[in-house]
Amino acid sequence: MMDNTTYEFFIRRCWDCDRFKHGANTDTWEDFLIKHYNFKNANVGNFKFNQSEFEKKLEKVKGYLDKAYTKLISKAAKKKVNPAVIEQLSESRMLVATLSEPNEIFAVLKAVFPILNDNNL
């Protein structure tokens, strides 16, 4: 099940910030899901508009996530976390950068939480 809080909590945890900072807002993810749905279900008349709206939102969400990963990896390096863990986080970051389906991005983010917990990040 995909929930909006995973996205927000991931960013908040990476940045150690409050809601609305650095893109940490469930509404951002919700809007991304709506734009994805509209794009996937667009008719010929409004396909281009919906595609454009989705792609803009996708880039915005991926931008927030990329910056969050950068902060997270920096924090892990400062804490001298095992290099294999930092490599896992880097691979997760690169994977998110290649994805466009919300459910796939969500799955990657969800998989990162045990790594954060296990390494006190």
Provide block-wise average pLDDT over 10 residues at a time, the chain (121 residues): 85 95 95 96 93 97 98 97 97 98 96 96 94
Name the token pair of 105. 């991005």
Name the token pair of 28. 């951002």
**pLDDT confidence of residue 16:** 94
Instruction: Please state whether 16 falls in left (phi above 0), alpha (psi between -120 and 50) or beta.
Output: left
**pLDDT confidence of residue 4:** 82
Boundaries of every domain in the chain: 4-118
Name the token pair of 53. 């709206």
Residue indicated by tokens 């459910």: 103
**pLDDT confidence of residue 39:** 96
